[in-house]
Structure 1
Amino acid sequence: MRYAITGASRGLGLEFVRQLLNRGDSIDAGVRSPSDAKQLQSLAREAGGRLRVHALDISDAKSVDAFAAAVGEGQPLDVLINNAGVYGKEGTLTALDYQSMADTFTVNTLGPLRLSAALLPALRRGSARRIIHITSKMGSIADNGEGGSYAYRVSKAALNMAMRNMHLELHREGFITVSMHPGWVQTDMGGPQAPLRAEESVRGMLNVIDRLRAQDGGRFFSYEGQELPW
């Protein structure tokens, strides 16, 4: 199987790369600065051509197009994992940083849409036709009992809606696209106090991704495979 993964230099993205390489898959990894992605580059040297590292800024249309051209090259792509994301600035209603919110929306919502569209020809050539959006339970309206985190919550809720639209447009072609909540994970974003290790989260998500069927398209799952409320 051939995967494309964004935000692959650290955290969940890097762990996706590790686990997929260990089981024999091929990966095109997108990172903002390939020269700074030391761990990823080390994995690429050991992978014997099964891991290619590309520059990718999902907030920039030209960067997305260049990544898609490099990944596509007339070859099939089986699974896209839209993992890259940012948290954005905190703030109460009267102290919101609207530029930060716009930037967060550009990365967390528009970026996955832009990249999914750019890679659609390669995905159509693949056999699995799966598009996975790493979102968050913080984007669930039903689950929001605390408030706060406007930028992150709003952008992830919008990503969930974008995923649902994508499902309705593409499922007749055999595509399966879902949103996935990775849990509260010990990453730069989640912090050291998070209860879940990246290895456990990614292992669970890959288990869910591998088992997806047509009827699962357009749904919102946890890393454990539990369906989550919108």
Structure 2
Amino acid sequence: MKTMLILGASRGLGLGLAAEYLARGWNVIGTIREGSPGGLPSLADDRLRIETLDITDAGQLAALRTRLAGVVVDLLFVNAAITNGNVPAAEVPTEEFVDVMVTNVLSPMRAVEALAELVPPTGTIAVMSSRQGSITMNTNAGYEVYRASKSALNQLMKSYAVRHASDPRTLLLVNPGHVQTELGGPGAVRTVEEAVPPIVDTIEKRSGEPGLQFVDYENQVVPW
């Protein structure tokens, strides 16, 4: 039985992914922030292990790594992002800019570095990205700091992949498309229930391919 570890599983796509992998027979370790369990406990499955983690807290990340010592994680999925709204970058307060970058860029990379040793050579490390991180596909502007954070995340994952060029594991940046989540808004074209199965199918299809790919939920390569 395979095991997936998903960071950020209290709601939205993270919760949907946890539920889908449980439905497909996997063991799931899902993280929530203290005091914010969301819907994860309601899944109530004996194959579900819930851990507490604030991904922006390096100490909590190190503690999670210690608690998971000896666990083999076939899929590590880092799902963490916030947005500051649709504001031109020059108008964003410094603290707000830093908050977005720490949450969306630095913290996911720290998580990958801290937890990668749990993933075997046949495993997959996936990080939730966005088409808004694609410079090529930026044709309508807006949400500038969020876009910049996802572009920076893509760049750092590329640097990680280059630094680990001989690593046989699959590395994925996943664009989930426009989904009805807190980030995507109620006007998004697909619900979480509609969006999640194709994402999981794409991850399964890419499994076993070494190196880094930036792909969408339909398994199409997204231009950088």
Residue equivalent to 1:105:
101
Q: Counting helix residues as a fraction of each chain, which structure ranks higher? A: 1
What is the alpha-carbon distance in structure 2 between the residues aligned to residue 60 and residue 118 of structure 1? 12
3-state SS, counterpart of residue 195 of structure 1: coil
Specify the SS of the correspondent of 1:218. strand
- Contact 1:180–1:220 (8 Å) recurs in 2: yes
Shift of 1:213: 4.8
Structure 1 SS opposite 2:164: helix
The residue number in structure 2 matching 1:82 is 78
2:159 alignment partner in structure 1:
165
5 Å matches for 1:33-182?
33=34, 35-43=35-43, 46-48=44-46, 50-70=47-67, 72-123=68-119, 126=120, 128-182=122-176
Tell me the amino acid that sits aligned with residue 61 of structure 1: A
The CA deviation at 1:122 is 1.2
CA contact (8 A) 1:176 1:217 kept: yes
Deviates more, 1:194-203 or 1:168-177: 168-177
Q: Runs of 5+ in structure 1 lacking a partner?
A: none
Identity, in percent, stands at 32
Q: Distance in 2 between matches of 1:63 and 1:187?
A: 26
- Equivalent position amino acid for 1:16 in 2: L
- Structure 2 residue runs of 5 or longer lacking an equivalent are none
TM-score, normalised with respect to structure 1:
0.91
**Alpha-carbon separation, structure 1, partners of 2:161 and 2:142:** 29
* 2:139 counterpart SS class: coil
Aligned length: 223
Indicate conservation of the 8 Å contact 1:186/1:192, yes or no: yes
2-structure distance, mates of 1:76, 1:216 = 18
Give the drift of 1:102: 0.9
Aligned residue for 2:55, secondary structure, equals: coil
TM-superposed deviation, 1:95: 1.4
Find the residue that maps to 1:66 and give its secondary structure.
helix
The residue number in structure 2 matching 1:19 is 20
Residue identity matched to 1:40: L
Give the residue type in structure 2 aligned to 1:92. Answer: P
1:148-184 deviations in whole A, cap 9, x for unaligned? 2122011100111112122223342311111110000
Aligned-pair CA distance for 1:75: 2.0
Q: 1:93 to 1:39 in 2, by over 3 A?
A: closer
TM value normalised by structure 2? 0.93
Moved beyond 4 Å, runs of 4+:
213-216
User: Would the aligned equivalents of 2:53 and 2:61 in 1 still touch at CA under 8 Å?
Assistant: yes
Give the distance between the partners of 2:193 and 2:121, measured in 1 at CA.
Answer: 27
8 Å CA contact 2:121, 2:169 repeated in 1 = no
Distance in 1 (CA, whole Å) between partners of 2:220 and 2:164 is 23
What CA deviation, in whole Å up to 9, does each residue of 1:100-123 have, x standing for no partner? 111111111111111111112211
Which one of the candidate residues 195, 205, 213 is aligned to 1:211?
A: 205
Contact 1:89 1:149 in 2 (8 A): yes
